[in-house]
Chains A and B, each alone.
Chain A
């Protein structure tokens, strides 16, 4: 369909509803994961949980002022309230009467439940549903549109694009400062980089992102988007830039696969993406460099190598001894290692292939090559002999 006006383009002309939803989800995911990297590095993940729940109270309060669910003031009001929550948690834990984890657990259920009570008492007729708050309404994204510079596009997509842009600018401008204050806050303070400013800037953006993402994907998925991809990238990368990049890859893969699986099984889209995010993070826990499965594999490999080292030691120790014919003989070596003939031959053949061992047919024994003797000396040093 060609739209009558030359200046008005509809996004739905070139992207179908599914594609619009998916695009919004991917952009939301990237906007969340780049901030998420710094939240994870600063061990602030649980603060995101608190923030994403308590902004509901911000939304309700801002609604009472604006009386309009579509007002951008709602977004700003709710975001400021999110920052206030972080501040309140900080204030409560500074009294040292409660620990900071406890402060999180006191403040956010208080704000969240206040919001639920307010909605159910005063805003019953308003389209503000507690279920939607938790799970979001991905399916509604393409229906709620707005027109910007002659382009009609989903409102959620537009807001998330703006937020993504702001987050990208923030992270690239302050990369150096964010890095030093997350790694060594005391050094950063002495170097003149106020960690307070960076902390509240990060929290303000997190709050804005959570509020904007909330509408589309809900409070639970928002936490998954912030923490999951960043935590996975943290386990796999050795530089901050790579961590940021890998987290966006994780986030995009999670969004795409979660979206299509949800459609295939006809289940909640945000729920499925959160499940996939959990799964990919869990897989990373198992498979990363220090992961459980990797550790088992490495242990197995080390054990194999240890046996070969043992064999080289045995050869090196007995080569120049009187009993070499017995200890190292083609048919007798097995009795001295207490291995069966087949195992001994397999291991010796591997060492012969690697050039450490040769057969001495004259004396009918196995002995070390030049290379093997070097390895023998190294093993003695390695094992402290």
Chain B
């Protein structure tokens, strides 16, 4: 398999107030991989995703996705934020949130039609959430909320998924559904970039790895990148030993 770079980040520096969060980072994400981003708390993982997607200001650097700017390819990018980043008391249903994935293709003013609703229902079905379509989102559990978010990305029919800690606070069952979804997507030629926090499952769930601690510590194939030396360099080695 040739290694096509699908997301190319060069010299990315980002700051919060006057404090730099990310220092001059080059990141290459390989097409058709399941890439995990790991790093200690405050390493700038979420900031990196937001910087790549143009949701937060960057001080320097360029981002190319499929050789183009984010704005040019935004229909092919699905962003799945941390599930606590939105207002779950919002008066809307699970199906309605999934339907938002179709808005990307509809553009301004045009309303979703029957076909869009069909696609959204299918996406819910893929996440095992078909029975919750009419449920108000505040009545969903943590895992169900995460599934709804992923169903929204499925409805969007994107090529690249950016996920911010999709496995945080979800039940075992949902975790399996999400990982199966990532593996399935890879078979369909898609790319996932996922912020992950559990070192125990890292090598099972993902095949590429980016280790970040304000700077890129290491990146590449899981087998070569997940080493004790790299984890130690990122201040993540404490208490965790790699069994090879």
Interface residues of A (CB under 8 A from B): 41, 96, 173-174, 176-177, 179-180, 182-184, 186-187, 189-193, 234, 237-240, 242-243
**B86 at the binding interface (Cβ < 8 Å):** yes
A191 contact set on B, CB distance < 8 A = 74, 100, 103-104
29 contacts between A and B (CB under 8 A): A41-B87, A96-B17, A173-B109, A176-B111, A177-B103, A177-B109, A179-B100, A180-B103, A182-B90, A183-B87, A183-B90, A184-B81, A184-B86, A186-B50, A186-B81, A189-B55, A190-B54, A190-B55, A190-B77, A191-B74, A191-B100, A192-B71, A192-B107, A193-B103, A238-B93, A239-B91, A239-B92, A239-B93, A242-B91
Q: How far is the CB of A263 from chain B (nearest CB, A)?
A: 35
B136 contact set on A, CB distance < 8 A = 238
Interface residues of B (CB under 8 A from A): 17, 50, 53-55, 70-71, 74, 77, 79, 81, 85-87, 89-93, 96-97, 100, 103-104, 106-109, 111-112, 136, 152
Q: How far is the CB of A212 from chain B (nearest CB, A)?
A: 26
Q: How far is the CB of A274 from chain B (nearest CB, A)?
A: 25
CB <8 Å contact, B92 and A179: yes
Which one of A174, A184, A192 contacts B74 once the chains associate, using CB atoms below 8 Å?
A192
B111 contact set on A, CB distance < 8 A = 176
CB <8 Å contact, A183 and B92: yes
Bound together, the chains give a CA A187 to CA B78 distance in angstroms of: 8
Q: How far is the CB of B129 from chain A (nearest CB, A)?
A: 17
B96 contact set on A, CB distance < 8 A = 179, 239
Q: How far is the CB of B42 from chain A (nearest CB, A)?
A: 19
Q: How far is the CB of A168 from chain B (nearest CB, A)?
A: 15
Bound together, the chains give a CA A174 to CA B106 distance in angstroms of: 13
CB <8 Å contact, B100 and A184: yes
CB <8 Å contact, B55 and A41: no
Q: How far is the CB of B108 from chain A (nearest CB, A)?
A: 7
**CB-nearest residue of chain B relative to A246?**
B91
Q: A183-B87, A184-B85 are in contact. List 13 more A-B contacts (CB 8 A).
A: A176-B109, A177-B103, A177-B108, A180-B100, A183-B86, A183-B92, A183-B100, A190-B55, A190-B79, A190-B104, A193-B103, A239-B91, A240-B91
